[in-house]
A and B are shown apart, each in its own frame.
Chain A
Amino acid sequence: MPFKIAIASGKGGTGKTLLATNLADYISQGVDTLLVDLDVEEPNDFIFIEGTNVNSVDQVKMIPSWNERQCTLCGNCARTCKYNAVIQLGTFIAVFNELCHSCYACSELCPANALPMKAFKMGETRTFSKGRLTFIESRLEIGEEQAVPLIRKTIIMADEIFHSIPFQIYDCPPGTSCPVVAATRHADLVILVTEPTPFGLNDLKLAVETMQDLGKPVGVVINRDGIGNSEVEDFCTREQLPVLAKIPFDREIAQRYSKGELVYNEVTNVKNALRKIASFVEKHFNP
């Protein structure tokens, strides 16, 4: 059974990718590790992980496709669809792909079998290899608006192909709505990355509420420690949320990050933080 950590945050830009990529690289020095970039709208992990691209696969969504010849124009499909993705305009059935949720109802209920489901590309998943680190990235096609189906597909793919990799890190999108829920559902531990500012605190509270609703164990990492104030830490103490590590604000981290570099080998504070996270995981979860 692999041990899965999801790295999330309420607020964007707190350092999820910084932590996910550095932690994954660090852990993979000692044990087989899987890193999955689930921020499918804006996947950035690839910038920091220089691995060999071993595989690329198109990810598809199933959308009904109108077969004019079979269609009796009964209009059942248009009446069934809750999303206005299928409409009847006279003798034409129009399917609006971007509105479709792939529920299959119109297709399976069509009395004439005139709406078979067909595959449409919604994104791409690439697999990379770097030493003992396997890295998967999923990328949503421009114009595709729904992140959740691709996030789900990626998690299923990781389960099917890489279930034997013992230590797994999932870099999640920012926020607390359905993409984040989809990305963190299956995790054993959720690490919330925040910054010690009013924005950071506001969004951390939302994220904590979401994770508690999902019944997920939570650990907090405070990034850019030193700017702002102590309210985030006070909040964690009050709520009895373990602060796994604090990474002090350091211009060097920002500069290296801006160049697409991993930082833990050059910045001791980051390495210390990773060590603390690793020992927390070992102590509490014994994976």
Chain B
Amino acid sequence: MKIAFTSSGTSWTSLIDPRFGRTEFIVLYDEEKQLISAIDNSHVKNVAHGAGSATAQIVFELNPSVLITGNGPGETASTALKHHHMRIFVDAHDMTLKQAYEQYKNGKLKEV
């Protein structure tokens, strides 16, 4: 399964970025291959409007099964992503990606 995180950095020890649309990076973890990769989202972060729309497109193209974030995407982006059976988990504030992943595995994160 592929897990996507909204992240402030590019590694397991980076903190979760609480924002969706304006997240610094999107980090993708492939559970099977145990590989982690990061996409720089800074160009989206800087738009005046439509950050949610642009980031939703990026996440959609990465096609993760699970998205872990802080505040969560807005309603429109959430609906669009869930339409493709993506599971969205929120409230991973103030923790590293590693901690967030563990919380998710232990069923401790809230699902949208």
Contact = CB atoms under 8 A, between A and B. Distances in A.
Interface of A: 83-85, 87, 89-92, 94-99, 145
B13 interface: no
A94 B84 contact: no
A39 B66 CA distance: 44
B103 interface: no
A92 B52 contact: no
B84 A95 contact: no
A87 B52 contact: no
Most buried by A among B50, B77, B79, B84: B50
B54 interface: yes
B53 interface: yes
Interface of B: 49-50, 52-54, 56-57, 60, 76-77, 79-81, 83-84
B49 A92 contact: no
B56 A94 contact: yes
Given A84-B53, A94-B80, A96-B76, 12 more contacts: A84-B54, A85-B50, A85-B53, A87-B53, A87-B57, A87-B80, A92-B79, A94-B53, A94-B56, A94-B77, A94-B79, A99-B53
A87 B49 CA distance: 14
A89 B49 contact: no
Given A94-B53, A98-B49, A99-B49, A89 B84 contact: yes
25 contacts: A83-B49, A83-B50, A84-B49, A84-B53, A84-B54, A85-B50, A87-B53, A87-B80, A89-B80, A89-B81, A89-B83, A90-B84, A91-B83, A92-B79, A92-B83, A92-B84, A94-B53, A94-B56, A94-B76, A94-B77, A94-B79, A94-B80, A95-B76, A99-B49, A145-B49
A62 to B, nearest CB: 17
A91 B79 CA distance: 12
A228 B81 CA distance: 57
B56 A89 contact: yes
Contacts, number: 44
Contacts of B49: 83-84, 98-99, 145
Contacts of B79: 92, 94
A96 B52 contact: yes
B84 A96 contact: no
Given A92-B83, A94-B80, A84 B56 contact: no
A95 B79 CA distance: 10
Contacts of A83: 49-50
A69 to B, nearest CB: 14
Contact of B50 (A89, A91, A99): A99
Contact of A92 (B50, B53, B54, B80): B80
Contacts of A98: 49
A94 B82 CA distance: 12
Nearest to B54: A84
A98 B50 CA distance: 9
A94 B79 CA distance: 8
A155 to B, nearest CB: 25
Nearest to A84: B50
B79 to A, nearest CB: 7
B69 to A, nearest CB: 17
Nearest to A94: B80
